[in-house]
Structure 1
Amino acid sequence: MKLRILPGKTKEFFEAFAYAPKVFEAEKAAGIITSYEIFTSVNYEGPDKWDVMYVVNFKNMAALDTSADLAEPVLAKVYGSPEKRAEVVKMRAESTETVSSELVRGIQLKPLP
């Protein structure tokens, strides 16, 4: 997912986004995801400019079918209460806009003989 931080909202965004690694690590420990990476944009400018991107990897496409249900108890534990979760989600929503969210498949190329 590629996110653009709204002007003047950098502090609020990173306060909310600080939960992301904790969520991703808990989901990884629970076997919901296999890995994740977080990136920041260095210099791209234009209508599709993004500031922060994160990539979440699943074992296979079928894992997407159950990931939301499996994640609920993990998220409840990470956030501690529905109120805290709602507060963090609201803070992130008010500090960013989504540039794009894409479903992609990794490929393994065979080396040339």
Structure 2
Amino acid sequence: MKLRILPGKTKEFYEAFAYAPKVFEAEKAAGIITGYSIMTSVNFEGPEKWDVMYVLHFKNMAVLDTSADLAEPIIAKVYGSPEKRAEVLRMRAESTEVVSSELVREIQLKPVP
């Protein structure tokens, strides 16, 4: 998912987004995801400009059918309370906009002999 941080909201975004690695690590430990990446953009131009991107790695496409249900209790535990979760999600919603969300598949190319 590619996110654009709204002007003047960088601090709020990173305070809210600081929960993401904790959630991702818990999901990884539970076997819901196999890994994740968080990246920042170094190219700041154009209408599709984004600031932060995160990628979740899944074992296979079938996991997508059940991952949300499996992740729900894990996410609830990370936030500790429904109120804290709502607060963090509100901060994130008020500090960013989604530029794009895409489903992609990694490919492994065979080296040329």
TM-score computed with the length of structure 2 as normaliser: 0.98
Say whether residues 1:76 and 2:76 are aligned partners: yes
Q: After the TM superposition, list the runs of 4 or more consecutive aligned residues in structure 1 that deviate by more than 6 angstroms.
A: none
Offset of residue 90 of structure 1: 0.7
Structure 1 CA distance for aligned equivalents of residues 82 and 26 of structure 2? 17
Say whether residues 1:48 and 2:48 are aligned partners: yes
Which sections of structure 1, spanning at least 5 residues, go unmatched? none
Equivalence for 1:17: 17
Equivalence for 1:107: 107
Equivalence for 2:6: 6
Which sections of structure 2, spanning at least 5 residues, go unmatched? none
Structure 2 CA distance for aligned equivalents of residues 34 and 5 of structure 1? 27
Cα RMSD of the aligned pairs, angstroms, is: 0.6
The superposition leaves residues 73-93 of structure 1 with CA deviations (integer Å, 9 ceiling, x where unpaired) of: 100110001111111111100
The superposition leaves residues 34-91 of structure 1 with CA deviations (integer Å, 9 ceiling, x where unpaired) of: 0000000112300000000001000000000000000011001100011111111111
- State the identity %: 86
SS of alignment partner, residue 62 of structure 1: helix
TM-score computed with the length of structure 1 as normaliser: 0.98
